[in-house]
């Protein structure tokens, strides 16, 4: 075996001998590693000097009054899939785009609006035609002048199926067409009367976009509006950088600052981790954060040099919807019993330390049409009453503490969609589960992924309970949530699967009427009815908790709780 | 054909097979989980896309065709190197990935280098020294058993928020990388240093270590010149594992430290059921692993001359 | 532990040698004790050892594994081991008190004044470093060479150690060298700094006999050049060639020491006598290792290599036991040929793609009850032949028949039923034991599933009355299985206490016994023994050989016995086949072949074997000079 290898093969290619062959072997790997580590350490130390967190605020400005300059960093949760407000549905998109885009009108109260890009507007008697007269001399960031055609292009872009609008198009579902009457007058025609139209136009998702930007291919899309800040860059999953639009000429009526923004730059940092975001604010790496965790809210408030702003979200509260088409919940007594079993006030207080308020109405108190008296229809916490109702409905207490009827346990399915969980809603749900158990109602929470949540539950209807909140400052959300035609499958929010001709009539009438009194009466009736029939168990009003550094001045929040940075400035 | 070329050719064929398998799994995975991809494309659960919009999406993406046809189209595109366009981002998948790759690679490579350095130093210093070893063991235990998420949060709280040493947000330079590096490093350094130490200890028990000492070699010389290379072999073997650990850790680290990178891309792509991006990342991961393993095999032969004898 | 003081040497020792008395002693050891702190308490490895070594002389330390010889030697370089406590009345080298040395002084001594050569050069040279780096290390460490002349020095050292083509060897790795060259390189490194003392710890144990002779010659040259030699070996025959003085150690103590001729010819201590008796000799016929017979090993004895040989309860039919190993019928081919190997050839593809013939047209037969020895040096094709006989792989040409039926050729599925008829006993059984198994599990596993195999499958006529072969009817179930395992253990001289032992807690001899019991479990006709005793101490080796001889005799087993050790083959086998380069160069009756070898290679092999009864100063060696063996044995790596 071994001798088959001839000596020639081993010695044949005798390499020229070179000196020092034995010295070439050093533990090279180790040396390289050590050098790399030392180099990295030195580099870091060297960089530390220049890495002063915070901003270069304007210097030498007088102590009082707004000063110009500086960059405000605002850390927000969530990421961004598109900057086109017409496409995306995420809250972050609205938050950012609010600074880039102006809207035709500005919402000043539950149902009052002020001029913005539209200097004035008229609504036809049949409520189907809106005529807007645009402000003169407004230019988009790219220099394109604001014209009637631009408005038309913007609206057409929203409803174009190719845009694949996830949200904006649904806001103006009755939109038929827009027509440029003159250079600055645009006439919008709806297919039916639709009072929430002005409100819809006021949200950032329907901000007016530059027609030149929209004409570009989708891949090259950049948000170009008329707002106080213009788009600079978007580093995916990291930040969006905006710059002051020096030529800003369209502040809304009544804004404190009628000129260009004070800030030179506005940067949105995407920080999805609550603790990181909070730490970034307190350590001065950012000047504002959205979504302060309720547990940290109290601490932040007490920290010198920081402030906390709480803004209640208008629209639908965070509610629990009871699927009235399925199983035991078809019986209104069982629905009311469930409602009476849960001490919402106590749970919310314990979990959110008072920063979120327990509610007794599906509609947020900050919304137009809110009827405080509707809460009288709610089946309030009363375990004895709950037990009575269940007894009446034939559900008797079984041996293991759950109620039984015809051999079946009173068991309700409440799918748990973890990806959608926030604000410790899972903890709240556990509390509800525990309290319902006390009256003998079993609540099961199968964990489901997004696909199953949508197809099996939201569309397939195999749920008894589902929880959701929906922020939008108009009572028209009641139509979204309770009109029989607005099931999830049909892009609506009627997850209780309410099918009530009365409610349908009320919400339709309220949306079409031009008489505020009629609308108010209709909306109040809806609120009473859904509580009376216990289609919904209101839980709490989501609160936008914004943490601000003491240096930040002049930040205001609009009715939709979006912070406005047009007036904001940084103290030196 | 020289053996090395033949081996590389065979390896390439294997890699191609792995890629095909990975792509198919990604395709099936994203298609077979319940839920309508069209709805995902339309913006997810919160979106209120009308049925008309959904139909338009299905037609545009060919989602209305039978699954085998979709698969054939999908494979055909892949063969042409076309990863497709992201459903969510309206951008070519290739550019989505390349945009984000740099940040992740910087993170992973830095952590790997740091981890190996730390492991080497710890392993060399503590091998065969009971007291030092006990200390190192405690460190390793913490490193192995503490989730990366928690390490990251602690480091962030201590060094960024309290001491202000390393800013995390608004800092794209090296300083912003230090804490993420450390977090990732700690997730692998424990195991690596354990393995290094065991390798060094094992080598020190071998006759050649005794021989080296009998020649008058100092302890440092025995460890550095002799034992370290032996310890490098098991560590090399573990590098594949470490890489997997790093890629997993990248997702966590990028979330905690609010960094951009492939990890974030993956998370949002999976949540948004962005099939083209998921496929792209899966293929990228498969290629990375295959290349690294091939490289490791070659490196192994470099470190251990005995391996050069073994048929490729 | 009491503080050791200088104590009297054992009575059997001869404290000094007259002819060297005029030189000052290079090494002086008196009252040396070494304790090791272990988990089970303090173990005294060396006790009250007195030794003296003068310049230019060779002192041999002889004893079995664990007798303390290596530890004793290592105290001279301060590397007795971890947890060792060294005490001595005198421990002096070149007149310096070694007990007072600090770390730096020790390092100045090691490699420079005292060279140290370990056994097993493959493990003792760093496998990841080039040979040149290893040889250069003492020069670098002690600053004895400048950067520029380092390489020349190393080349010179390699050449001095008899390594051909030193310039190429320099850059090769240890595994690329043959065992002999590795050992030479290791010696070259140990003497690089021209030490006055060279400690050689089993320097030839793993080597083929011809290579062993060359390495011993090299050491002898060193000695002749004035280097004192402390030679450690378990092999008295090796020692006989070299030593001026011999110290025999047992259980940490020197039981006898004195001039070599005296110790070898007139041993005073019974242990010395036993060691001498156990050395397999080329001249003696098969012997019974009665001198070393010990009772059946008890499981309670952990440290001692206690393993008995002859008293196991073999349920032997007296009629069978009469069939001696040398039954003329077996050798003459009158008996049935159990194994027939017909012109088998096996080639392997080597790394560079060329085909290499490992076994070349080999033919032989193995008769029932016969023992056939296969001898040859590493790489001669012995093991490949064994693997072919075991049908571990198929020959490229030729065929193997078992019991007259084709054994090579059929598919493994068809072969499986007959697998139990032929079993392997390997050199190192530890690797083949599942470390989590107990001895009982190891053996029971080989019994096969369900009821114990009793050797009657295939319609083969049952071996008459052999308890080992399992002629008795067995009930099924765990009890019967255990009974069978106990019986097998008894057959190899181990008691039932070993049932629960793990393989790691067995000594080398016990392990080999368990391996044999395992091989016996399925009731084989043929045992293929591949170097079954080469890892064992000489006395244990003798016990295992005796066991094999007894099993053959009593159970009628046929043995295919592979060994590089001619003495062992001489002792066990009826016939012997000598292999070289894959071919059988000579085959015949053991006596005939050993007495009058016809092939020159056989003659060379025989001449290279160290003999006890050869005068130790005999220098006529047929294989003298630089190594001529193949420079590399890597080709065999893939096969063994």
pLDDT band at B171 (very low <50, low <70, confident <90, very high): low
Same domain, B49 and B120: no
Does one domain contain both B146 and B227? yes
CB A468 within 8 A of CB A513: no
Min Cα–Cα distance to chain C from A33, Å: 20
For chain B, what percent of residues have pLDDT higher than 70? Answer: 94
For the segment A391-417, the average pLDDT, to the nearest whole number, is 91
Break chain B down into helix, strand, coil percent, rounded to 5. 80, 0, 20
Expressed as residue numbers, the domain containing B40 is 3-79
- Chain C: closest CA distance from residue B17 (Å): 27
How far apart are alpha carbons C540 and C533 in whole angstroms?
8
Rounded CA-CA distance B214/B230 in Å is: 19
Alpha carbon distance A101, A108 (integer Å): 17
By Cβ distance, the residue of C168, C378, C582 closest to A11 is C168
Same domain, B14 and B146: no
Residue of A13, A18, A22 best to disrupt the C interface, most CBs of C under 10 A: A22
A19 contacts C130? CB cut-off 8 A: no
Residue B90 in any domain: the answer is: no
Residue B56 lies in a domain: yes
CATH code where residue B203 lies: 1.10.3720.10
Q: How confident is the model at residue C461, as a pLDDT?
A: 38
Alpha helices in C191-234 (DSSP H): 209-224
pLDDT at C145 over 50: yes
At residue B199, does pLDDT exceed 60?
A: yes
Residue C216 has pLDDT above 80, yes or no: yes
Could you tell me if C351 lies within 8 Å of chain A, comparing CB atoms? Answer: no
Asked if pLDDT for residue B94 goes beyond 60, the answer is yes
Q: In the prediction, which pLDDT does C633 show?
A: 39
CA distance A267 to A232: 10
Chain A environment of C631 (Cβ under 8 Å): 7, 10
- Report angle CA B298, B301, B304 to the nearest 5 degrees: 150
Instruction: Decide which of A93 and C39 is more confident.
Output: A93
**Residue B107 resides in a domain:** yes
For chain C, state the CA radius of gyration: 26
Q: Which residues pair with C554 in a beta bridge?
A: none
Task: Give the pLDDT score at A456.
Answer: 83
Mean pLDDT of A464-469: 90
CB pairs under 8 A between B and C: 86
B169 → chain A, closest CA residue: A285
For residue range A287-330, what is the model confidence (pLDDT) as tens digits?
A: 999 888 877 888 888 888 898 888 888 889 999 999 999 889 99
DSSP C232-256: EES-HHHHHHH-SEEEEEETTEEEE
Write down the pLDDT at residue C617.
42
A283 vs B: CB within 8 A = yes
Please check the confidence at residue A62 and state whether its pLDDT lies above 60.
Answer: no
- Nearest residue on chain B to A469, judged by CA atoms? B46
Does the distance separating the beta carbons of B221 and C128 come in below 8 Å?
A: no
Candidate from A76-85, C48-57, C359-368, C560-569 with smallest mean pLDDT = A76-85
Same domain flag for B228 and B279: yes
Residue B86 in domain:
no
pLDDT value at A7 more than 60: no
pLDDT value of residue A173: 83
Helices (H), ranges, A308-404: 332-341, 344-352, 383-392
> How far, in Å, CA of C153 to CA of A118, rounded?
96
Q: Are residues B11 and B139 in the same domain?
A: no
The answer to whether position B66 is within a domain reads yes
Q: Which of A411-415, A487-491, C514-518 has the highest mean pLDDT?
A: A411-415
Q: At which of B79, B105, B127 does a domain end?
A: B79
Q: Based on the domain organization, do B49 and B185 belong to the same domain?
A: no
Residues of chain A with CATH 3.40.190.10: 71-312+545-570
pLDDT tens string B8-55 = 888 889 888 988 998 898 888 877 776 677 777 776 666 666 777 778
Displacement of CA A414 from its chain's centroid (Å): 23
Confidence grade of residue B235 (pLDDT, cut at 50, 70, 90): confident
> Which pLDDT value is given to residue C591?
87
Mean pLDDT within C526-551: 83
Do B40 and B110 lie in one domain? The reply is no
Residue C48 has pLDDT above 80, yes or no: yes
Decide: helix, strand or coil at residue A510: helix
Using a pLDDT cut of 90, give the percent of chain A over it. Answer: 44
Q: Give the pLDDT confidence score for residue C612 in this predicted structure.
A: 65
What is the percentage of chain C residues whose pLDDT exceeds 70? 76
pLDDT value of residue C449: 62
Q: What is the pLDDT of residue B34?
A: 67
Number of domains in chain B: 2
Q: What is the pLDDT of residues C163-215, one digit of tens each?
A: 888 888 888 888 888 777 888 888 888 888 888 999 988 887 767 777 888 88
Average pLDDT rounded to a whole number, residues C548-569: 85
B59 and B193 assigned to the same domain: no
- Pairwise pLDDT comparison (A111 vs C111), residue with the higher score: C111
Fold classification of A71-312+545-570 is: D-Maltodextrin-Binding Protein; domain 2 (3.40.190)
If asked whether residues B38 and B165 sit together in one domain, one would say: no
For residue C173, give the nearest of B3, B207, B305 by CB distance: B305
pLDDT, mean of residues A561-569: 87
Instruction: Tell me the average pLDDT of chain B.
Output: 83
In a shared domain, residues B20 and B102: no
Is there a contact between A275 and B36 if contact means CB atoms under 8 Å apart? no
In a domain, B20, yes or no: yes
Give the pLDDT band of residue C471 (cuts 50, 70, 90): very low
Predicted ipTM?
Answer: 0.76
Burial readout A131-159 (b: 16 or more C-beta within 10 A, e: otherwise): bbbbbeebbbbeebbbbbbbbbbbbbbbb
- Are the beta carbons of C41 and C78 closer than 8 angstroms? no
Per-residue pLDDT tens digits for A123-156: 998 889 999 999 998 999 999 999 999 999 999 9
With a cut of 70, say whether residue C327 has pLDDT above it: no
* pLDDT > 70: percent of chain A: 89
Rg over alpha carbons for chain A, rounded to the nearest Å, is: 30
CA distance C182 to C186: 6
Last residue of one domain, picked from the residues B79, B108, B137: B79
Q: Where are the alpha helices (DSSP H) in chain B?
A: 3-32, 37-41, 51-61, 67-79, 93-126, 130-145, 148-155, 175-205, 207-214, 219-221, 228-256, 262-271, 275-303
Confidence of residue B272 (pLDDT cuts 50, 70, 90): confident
Range picked from A338-347, A491-500, B10-19 for highest mean pLDDT: A338-347
Distance from C-alpha of B122 to C-alpha of B135, rounded to nearest angstrom:
10
The verdict on a CB contact (< 8 Å) between A20 and C178 is: no
User: What residues 102-141 of chain C have any CB closer than 8 A to a CB of chain B?
Assistant: 107-112, 114-116, 118-120, 123-129, 134, 137-138, 141
Give chain B positions within 8 Å (CB) of C119.
Answer: 207
Shared domain for B70 and B105, answered yes or no, is: no
Question: What are chain B's partners, defined as 3 or more CB pairs within 8 angstroms?
Answer: A, C
- Predicted pLDDT of residue A44: 52
State the span(s) of chain A assigned CATH 3.10.105.10: 315-541
DSSP E strand stretches across A9-126: 71-76, 105-109, 112-115, 118-123
> Is the Cβ–Cβ distance between C9 and C254 less than 8 Å?
yes
Interface membership of C19 toward B (CB under 8 Å): no
User: What is the reported pLDDT for B106?
Assistant: 86
**Closest residue to A22, CB basis, from C151, C631, C633:** C151
Q: Identify the helix (H) or strand (E) that includes residue C122.
A: helix C121-124
pLDDT above 60: residue C390: yes
Above 80 in pLDDT, residue C582? yes
Q: Mutation target for A interface from B45, B182, B185: give the one with most A CBs within 10 A.
A: B45
pLDDT band at A56 (very low <50, low <70, confident <90, very high): very low
Q: Hey, is the C-beta of C632 within 8 angstroms of any chain A C-beta?
A: yes
pLDDT value for A34: 61
Helix-then-strand count for chain B, H and E? 13, 0
Q: Do C136 and A7 touch (CB under 8 A)?
A: no
pLDDT at A489: 79
Q: Does the pLDDT value for residue C74 go beyond 80? A: yes
Whole-number mean pLDDT of chain A? 84
pLDDT digit string (tens) for B132-164? Answer: 888 888 888 888 888 878 888 888 888 888 787
Q: What is the reported pLDDT for B142? A: 84
pLDDT at B273 (0 to 100): 76
Looking at the complex, does the CB of residue C131 fall below 8 Å from at least one CB of chain A? no
On average, the pLDDT of chain C sits at: 75
Residues from chain B that touch A273, judged by Cβ atoms under 8 A, are 153, 255-256, 258
Contact status of C385 with chain B (Cβ, < 8 Å): no
In a domain, B170, yes or no: yes
Render pLDDT for A426-465 as a digit per residue (tens, 0 to 9): 999 999 999 999 999 999 999 988 778 887 888 888 999 9
Distance CA A121, CA A184 (A): 12
Q: Which residue of B has its CA nearest to C111?
A: B215
- B265 and B135 within one domain: yes
A197 vs A3 pLDDT, higher one? A197
Set of chain B residues whose Cβ sits within 8 Å of the Cβ of C142: 216
**CB–CB of B311 and C351 under 8 A?**
yes
- Determine the pLDDT at residue A9: 37
| pLDDT, position C333 | 42
Contact (CB<8Å) B210/C118: yes
Position B206 in a domain: yes
**How many beta-carbon pairs below 8 A join chains A and C?**
66
The pLDDT assigned to A323 comes to: 93
Instruction: For residues C310-332, give the mean pLDDT.
Output: 36
Q: Determine the average pLDDT of the residues in B219-241.
A: 86
Lowest mean pLDDT across A58-72, A415-429, B122-136 = A58-72
| Helix pair angle (B175-205, B93-126), 10° resolution | 50
Q: Is C151 on the interface with A (CB under 8 A)?
A: yes
Q: How far is B135 from chain A (nearest CA, A)?
A: 22
pLDDT tens per residue across span B61-72: 788 888 888 889
Model confidence at C609, in pLDDT bands (50, 70, 90)? Answer: confident
Residue with tokens 């025995």: B222
Of the pLDDT bands very low, low, confident and very high (cuts 50, 70, 90), residue C162 is confident
C534 close contact with A: CB closer than 8 A: no
Fold of A315-541: Dipeptide-binding Protein; domain 3 (3.10.105)
């Amino acid at each position: 075996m071994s001798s088959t290898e001839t000596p020639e093969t081993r010695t044949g290619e005798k390499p020229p001998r070179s000196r020092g062959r034995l010295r070439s072997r050093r533990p090279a790997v180790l040396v390289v590693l050590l050098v790399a580590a030392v180099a990295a350490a030195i580099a870091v130390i060297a960089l530390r000097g220049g890495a002063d967190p915070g901003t270069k605020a304007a210097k030498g400005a007088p102590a009082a009054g707004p000063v110009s300059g500086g960059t405000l960093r605002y850390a927000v949760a969530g990421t961004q899939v598109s900057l086109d407000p017409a496409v995306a549905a995420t809250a972050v998109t609205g938050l950012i785009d609010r600074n880039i885009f102006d809207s035709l009108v500005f919402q000043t109260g539950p149902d009052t609006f002020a001029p913005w890009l539209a200097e004035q507007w008229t609504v036809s008697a049949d409520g189907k035609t809106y005529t807007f007269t645009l402000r003169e001399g407004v230019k988009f960031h790219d220099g394109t002048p604001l014209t009637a055609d631009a408005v038309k292009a913007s609206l057409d872009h929203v409803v174009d199926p190719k845009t694949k609008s996830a949200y904006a198009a649904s806001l103006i579902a009755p939109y038929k067409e827009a027509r440029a009457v003159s250079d600055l007058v645009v006439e919008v025609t709806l297919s039916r009367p639709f009072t929430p139209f002005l409100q819809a136009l006021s949200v950032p998702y329907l901000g007016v976009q530059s027609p030149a930007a929209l004409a570009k291919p989708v891949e090259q899309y950049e948000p170009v509006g008329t707002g106080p800040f213009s788009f600079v860059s978007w580093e995916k999953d990291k930040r969006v950088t905006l710059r002051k639009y020096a030529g800003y000429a369209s502040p809304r009526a009544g804004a404190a600052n009628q000129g260009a923004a004070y800030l030179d730059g506005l940067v949105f940092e995407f920080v999805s981790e609550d603790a990181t975001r909070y730490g970034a604010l307190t350590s001065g790496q950012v000047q504002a954060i959205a979504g302060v965790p309720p547990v940290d809210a109290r601490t932040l408030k007490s920290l010198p040099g920081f402030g906390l702003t709480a803004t209640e979200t208008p629209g639908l509260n965070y509610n629990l919807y009871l699927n009235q088409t399925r199983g035991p919940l078809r019986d209104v007594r069982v629905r009311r019993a469930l409602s009476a079993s849960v001490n919402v006030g106590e749970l919310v207080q314990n979990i959110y330390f008072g920063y979120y308020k327990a509610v007794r109405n599906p509609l947020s108190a900050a919304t137009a049409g809110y009827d405080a008296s509707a809460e009288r229809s709610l089946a309030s916490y009363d375990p004895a009453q709950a037990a009575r109702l269940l007894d009446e409905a034939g559900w008797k207490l079984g041996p293991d503490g759950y109620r039984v009827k015809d051999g079946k346990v009173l068991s309700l399915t409440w799918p748990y969609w973890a990806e959608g969980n926030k604000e410790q809603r899972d903890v709240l749900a556990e509390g509800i589960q525990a309290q319902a158990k006390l009256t003998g109602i079993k609540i099961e929470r199968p964990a489901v992924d997004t696909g199953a949540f949508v197809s099996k539950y939201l569309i397939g209807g195999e749920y008894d309970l589902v929880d959701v909140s929906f922020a939008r400052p108009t009572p028209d959300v009641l139509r979204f949530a309770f009109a029989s035609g607005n099931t999830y499958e049909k892009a609506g929010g009627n997850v209780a699967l309410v099918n009530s001709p009365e409610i349908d009539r009320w919400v339709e009438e309220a949306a079409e009427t031009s008489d505020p009194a009629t609308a108010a009466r209709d909306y109040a009736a809806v609120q009473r009815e859904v509580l009376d029939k216990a289609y919904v168990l209101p839980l709490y009003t989501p609160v936008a908790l914004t943490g601000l550094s003491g240096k930040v001045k002049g930040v205001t929040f609009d009715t939709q709780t979006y912070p406005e940075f047009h007036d904001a400035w940084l103290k030196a | 054909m020289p053996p090395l070329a033949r081996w590389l050719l065979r390896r390439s064929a294997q890699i191609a097979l792995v890629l095909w398998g990975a792509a198919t799994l990604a395709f099936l995975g994203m298609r077979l989980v319940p839920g309508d991809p069209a709805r995902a494309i339309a913006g997810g659960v919160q979106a209120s896309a009308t049925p008309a919009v959904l139909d338009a999406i299905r037609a545009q993406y060919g989602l209305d065709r039978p699954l085998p046809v979709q698969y054939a189209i999908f494979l055909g595109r892949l063969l042409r190197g076309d990863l497709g366009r992201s459903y969510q981002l309206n951008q070519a998948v290739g550019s989505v990935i390349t945009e984000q790759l740099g940040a992740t690679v910087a993170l992973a490579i830095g952590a790997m280098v740091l981890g190996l350095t730390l492991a080497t130093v710890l392993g060399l210093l503590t091998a065969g020294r009971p007291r030092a070893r006990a200390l190192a063991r405690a460190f390793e235990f913490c490193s192995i058993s503490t989730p990366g998420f928690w390490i990251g949060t602690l480091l962030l709280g201590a060094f960024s928020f309290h001491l202000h040493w390393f800013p995390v947000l608004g800092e794209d330079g090296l300083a912003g990388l230090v804490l993420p590096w450390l977090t990732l490093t700690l997730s692998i350094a424990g195991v690596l240093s354990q393995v290094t130490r065991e390798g060094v200890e094992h080598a020190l028990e071998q006759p050649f270590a005794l021989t080296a000492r009998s020649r008058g070699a100092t302890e440092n010389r025995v460890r550095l010149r002799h034992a370290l290379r032996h310890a490098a072999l098991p560590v090399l073997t573990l590098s594949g594992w470490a890489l997997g650990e790093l890629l997993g850790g990248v997702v966590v680290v990028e979330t905690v430290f609010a960094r951009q990178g492939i990890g974030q891309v993956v998370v949002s792509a999976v949540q948004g059921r962005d099939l083209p991006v998921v496929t792209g990342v899966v293929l990228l991961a498969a290629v990375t692993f295959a290349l690294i393993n091939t490289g490791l095999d070659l490196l192994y032969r470099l470190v251990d001359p005995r391996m050069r004898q073994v048929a490729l | 532990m009491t503080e050791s003081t200088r104590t009297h040497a054992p009575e059997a020792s001869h404290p000094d040698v007259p002819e060297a008395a005029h030189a000052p002693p290079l090494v002086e050891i008196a009252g040396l004790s070494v304790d090791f702190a272990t988990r089970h308490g303090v173990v005294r490895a060396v006790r009250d050892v007195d030794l003296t070594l003068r310049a230019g002389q060779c002192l041999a330390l002889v004893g079995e594994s664990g007798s303390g010889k290596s530890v004793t030697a290592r105290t001279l370089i301060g590397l007795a081991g971890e947890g060792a406590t060294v005490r001595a009345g005198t421990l002096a080298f070149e007149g310096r008190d070694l007990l007072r040395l600090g770390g730096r002084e020790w390092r100045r001594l090691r490699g420079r004044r005292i060279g140290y050569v370990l056994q097993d050069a493959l493990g003792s040279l760093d496998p990841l470093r080039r040979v040149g780096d290893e040889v250069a290390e003492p020069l670098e460490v002690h600053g004895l060479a400048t950067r520029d002349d380092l390489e020349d020095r190393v080349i010179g050292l390699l050449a001095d150690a008899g390594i051909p083509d030193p310039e190429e060897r320099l850059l090769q790795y240890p595994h690329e060298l043959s065992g002999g060259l590795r050992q030479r390189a290791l010696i070259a490194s140990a003497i690089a700094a021209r030490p006055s003392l060279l400690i050689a710890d089993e320097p030839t144990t793993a080597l083929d006999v011809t290579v062993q002779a060359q390495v011993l010659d090299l050491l002898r040259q060193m000695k002749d050049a004035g280097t004192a030699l402390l030679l450690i070996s378990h092999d008295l025959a090796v020692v006989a060639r070299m030593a001026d003085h011999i110290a025999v150690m047992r259980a940490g103590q020197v039981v006898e020491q004195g001039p070599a001729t005296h110790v070898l010819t007139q041993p005073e201590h019974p242990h010395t006598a036993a060691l001498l008796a156990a050395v397999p000799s080329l001249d003696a016929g098969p012997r019974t290792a009665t001198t070393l017979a010990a009772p059946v090993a008890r499981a309670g004895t952990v440290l001692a290599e206690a393993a008995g040989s002859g008293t196991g309860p073999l349920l032997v039919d007296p009629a069978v036991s009469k069939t001696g190993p040398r039954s003329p019928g077996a050798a003459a081919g009158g008996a049935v040929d159990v194994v027939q190997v017909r012109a088998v050839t096996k080639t392997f593809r080597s790394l560079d793609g060329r085909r290499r013939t490992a076994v070349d047209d080999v033919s032989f037969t193995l008769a029932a009850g016969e023992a056939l020895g296969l001898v040859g040096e590493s790489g001669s094709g012995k093991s490949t032949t064994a693997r072919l006989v075991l049908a571990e792989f198929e020959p490229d040409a030729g065929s193997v028949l078992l019991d007259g039926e084709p054994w090579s050729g059929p598919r493994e599925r068809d072969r499986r039923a007959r697998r139990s008829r032929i079993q392997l006993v390997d050199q190192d059984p530890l690797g083949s034991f599942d470390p989590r198994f107990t001895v009982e599990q190891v053996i029971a596993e080989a019994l096969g599933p369900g009821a114990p195999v009793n050797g009657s499958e295939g319609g083969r006529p049952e071996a008459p009355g052999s308890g080992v072969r399992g002629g008795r009817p067995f009930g099924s179930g765990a009890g019967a299985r255990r009974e069978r395992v106990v019986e097998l253990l008894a057959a190899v001289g181990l008691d039932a206490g070993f049932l629960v032992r793990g393989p790691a807690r067995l000594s080398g001899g016990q392990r080999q016994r368990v391996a044999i019991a395992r091989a016996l479990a399925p009731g084989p006709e043929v045992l293929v023994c591949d170097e079954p005793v080469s890892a064992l101490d000489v006395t244990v080796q003798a016990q295992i050989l005796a066991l094999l001889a007894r099993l053959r005799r009593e159970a009628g087993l046929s043995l295919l016995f592979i060994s590089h050790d001619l003495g062992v083959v001489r002792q066990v086998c009826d016939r012997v086949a000598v292999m070289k380069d894959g071919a059988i160069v000579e085959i015949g009756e053991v006596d005939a072949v050993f007495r009058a070898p016809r092939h020159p290679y056989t003659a060379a092999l025989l001449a290279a074997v160290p003999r006890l009864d050869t005068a130790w100063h005999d220098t006529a060696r047929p294989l003298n000079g630089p190594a001529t063996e193949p420079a590399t044995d890597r080709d065999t790596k893939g096969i063994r």
